[in-house]
Structure 1
Amino acid sequence: MEAPFIYRRPCGNGSTEDAAIMAALEGDLGRLKGIVESLGKGNGNRAAVFSLKKGGVGVLHCAACAGHLEVCMYLVEELGGDANMTAAEGVTPFMTAAQSGDVSTVKYLLDRGGDLMKADEKGRTVLHHAACTGSTKVTEFLLSKGIPVDIDYGHGTALYQAAANEQDKTVKILLDHHANAGADVNGKGNLASPLVIATMRGGYTNEVRLLLKAGADPNIPDDLGTLPVELAALNDCMEEVEMLFPLTSPIPGVPNWSVHGVISHAKLECKKPLEEHHIARRKAMFKSQASKAFKLKNYDLASKLYGLAIDHAPDATLYSNRSLCRLQMGDGEGALSDAYKCRTMRPDWAKGCYRQGAAHMLLGEHKQAHDALLDAQKLDPGNEEIERELRKAMELMKVSPDEDDQ
């Protein structure tokens, strides 16, 4: 589950947009007032500050996200800013304020009309934003104001999303308020439940613990009838097996119903090879679910699902797609590793070179990015996207040549 919007600082290029955004993020009220004054004296011109955006996000959102109360007061009271104005993904300043952890900013925007029940395009209310980012004091404040603890607009309750984002403290607060994760915690309508996915991949012990706290059902199997406790056993995740075993109904065919008995049974079953049609079906289903998750910008889940597809039948497209997911999550090393595998499998595919170049760019390795993008250009001449990134890499090499020579 992807955490909600948190604005990343722009790489300033001297534009008015960058200056305004940076002033809002840093709480520099004097600088922001100077920018506003430069826009003109009339009220209409002064309010134009709200049109200055980066990535679809404006100054009030950024000031709220950083918890700069004085800047928010100036933008709302003097310039007419709205606590419910929407930015990228339908997020409001009231929602971003919840991520700051600053109760005074949240209270101020609530008093100025902040909508407790409004949801963004991913079904997240202000409570979801607070819970997903671990803003415990804000979570408690919002609950004290009467927002329903189990509010759900079709993408899960705050408890479900907090658990999926491993926010243990907010999970506890929500449970103390008698929260119920609802059917979504079991992935109703999906190929596999979140608990199945977590145990299938292995190494997600904390996520398993939180999903169980949120009410995940350990007796829902995967598409082949294998239960989470068996999947955990196959991955040698003893702690997960010990958590899941007491909550799992006895499995027919396991004569020794114990932790060690389940492990022995799972190891024996896994030696049976999957039939080709099962492998092909699973690969197609995981790829389809990953694509849906990516479209919802849930890059973490998409990455996990592409990984499951790769486990069954790896190919260059899957590695390319997972590389893109990791790029979106800021995981340069992971994206680069997948790009290398993609290029190995399809050395004549421009997209693999492009993914490698993008990963190097994220890591600040501009010379390597230039070389990979040059390979992509040779394979797909005239591709505007490749040429744009190649020019960017060349410019960055000029700015910091020594960095790439180290």
Structure 2
Amino acid sequence: GCCKVTEFLLSKGVPVDIDCGRGTPLFWAANNEQDKTVKILLEHHANPNIIINGTTSPLMSALVYRSLKCMKLLIKAGADVNCNGSMLTPLLLATMHGGYTNFIKLLLKAGPDPNIPDDLGRFPVELAAIRDCMEEVEMLFPVTSPIPNVPNWSIEGLISHAKILEKKPIEQRHLQRRKALIKSKADTAFKQKEYKIATKIYDLAIAHGESATLYANRSVCKLLIGDGEGALSDALMCECCDLIGQKLATVKLQLTCYSRSMNKPVMLSWTHTI
């Protein structure tokens, strides 16, 4: 289906990197885990390094959607494994979340720079240590340059440092500025109907400070990608968040989710101010 259509359009002279405002064909093929289509596009010299809206790239999209096949094809075709110009590197994204160990192995074989920090100055190996993922720490430690503020540069010393780092408060103004930037990137992805990517970016925003607005936005994203239970969970979190000082408007939202645990549709309503 997709492969035949892709080959037909390319044979008629449609530019391989055409972008109508929501990303290139290669980006969307990676977004939908269509490795065969990715292969065809790359054989026609699609550019694997186009950054979409300053946020993501085909490689990052393949990582978000956990498509090892697409990632291997993109890396072989010369995809920038540091994704320069995007919001963060693939290694940072992978080490911020669980379940990406195999993807980190693949990335490390391609030779990314493990010494690029996030905007809080944390390195991939530190993020893996904060999550207490020893397997990832052991992979990243040998290729990471000694971090000056880690007094005992060893795996044990790094784990101890990460536990202290996790408890250290982040300066509030910097936190709010970063949260606003992340939310704007998530909102952009949502408007472009890139709901799974938006969900991941909202994850980052929520990690920097919970709010009913963020949970509501992520709830809608999860609903639109078919994660009814996740949407329900986020909707419930909206009721737990305090929006003191933000009384511009009161909005009532309603979701109908299918709960596998209760084996029936669940109607949920909640009200919050934005």
Between the aligned partners of 1:219 and 1:352, the Cα distance in structure 2 is: 45
More strand by share: 2
SS of residue matched to 1:263 = helix
Match in the other structure for 1:172: 72
Equivalent runs, 1:244-259 vs 2, <5 Å: 244-259=140-155
Contact 1:150 1:159 in 2 (8 A): no
How far apart are 1:234 and its partner, in Å?
0.7
How far apart are 1:252 and its partner, in Å?
1.1
* Code of the aligned partner of 1:359: C
* Code of the aligned partner of 1:150: N
How far apart are 1:323 and its partner, in Å?
0.8
Equivalent runs, 1:157-306 vs 2, <5 Å: 158-177=58-77, 179-181=78-80, 185-186=83-84, 188=85, 190=87, 192-212=88-108, 216-306=112-202
In structure 2, runs of 5+ residues without a counterpart are 244-248
Match in the other structure for 2:47: 150
- String of CA shifts for 1:270-298, please: whole Å, max 9, x gaps: 33333433443343333233223323333
Between the aligned partners of 1:339 and 1:301, the Cα distance in structure 2 is: 19
Indicate yes or no: 2:200 matched with 1:315.
Answer: no
SS of residue matched to 1:359 = strand
How far apart are 1:314 and its partner, in Å?
1.6
How far apart are 1:215 and its partner, in Å?
5.5
Between the aligned partners of 1:286 and 1:242, the Cα distance in structure 2 is: 29
Say which structure, 1 or 2, has more relative contact order (CA 8 Å, 6+ apart): 2
Equivalent runs, 1:78-93 vs 2, <5 Å: none
In structure 1, runs of 5+ residues without a counterpart are 1-66, 68-96, 99-103, 380-406
Sequence identity, in percent?
45
The RMSD of aligned alpha carbons is 3.7
Between the aligned partners of 1:141 and 1:308, the Cα distance in structure 2 is: 33
How far apart are 1:251 and its partner, in Å?
0.8
Between the aligned partners of 1:352 and 1:211, the Cα distance in structure 2 is: 44
- String of CA shifts for 1:60-103, please: whole Å, max 9, x gaps: xxxxxxx2xxxxxxxxxxxxxxxxxxxxxxxxxxxxx13xxxxx
SS of residue matched to 1:289 = helix
Give the direction of change, closer, same or farther, for the CA distance of 1:239–1:297 in structure 2 (3 Å limit).
farther
* Code of the aligned partner of 2:257: A
Match in the other structure for 1:121: 21
Between the aligned partners of 1:128 and 1:315, the Cα distance in structure 2 is: 31
Between the aligned partners of 1:149 and 1:133, the Cα distance in structure 2 is: 17
SS of residue matched to 2:179 = helix
Between the aligned partners of 2:153 and 2:263, the Cα distance in structure 1 is: 53
Contact 1:149 1:174 in 2 (8 A): no
SS of residue matched to 2:75 = helix
- String of CA shifts for 1:19-60, please: whole Å, max 9, x gaps: xxxxxxxxxxxxxxxxxxxxxxxxxxxxxxxxxxxxxxxxxx
Match in the other structure for 2:257: 359
Give the direction of change, closer, same or farther, for the CA distance of 1:193–1:358 in structure 2 (3 Å limit).
farther
Give the direction of change, closer, same or farther, for the CA distance of 1:210–1:140 in structure 2 (3 Å limit).
same
* Code of the aligned partner of 1:181: D
- String of CA shifts for 1:120-158, please: whole Å, max 9, x gaps: 432222x444444444444444444xx225354432654
Q: How many residues align?
A: 265
Give the direction of change, closer, same or farther, for the CA distance of 1:276–1:161 in structure 2 (3 Å limit).
closer
Contact 2:64 2:197 in 1 (8 A): no
Between the aligned partners of 1:222 and 1:312, the Cα distance in structure 2 is: 13
TM-score by length of 1: 0.54
* Code of the aligned partner of 1:285: L
More helix by share: 1
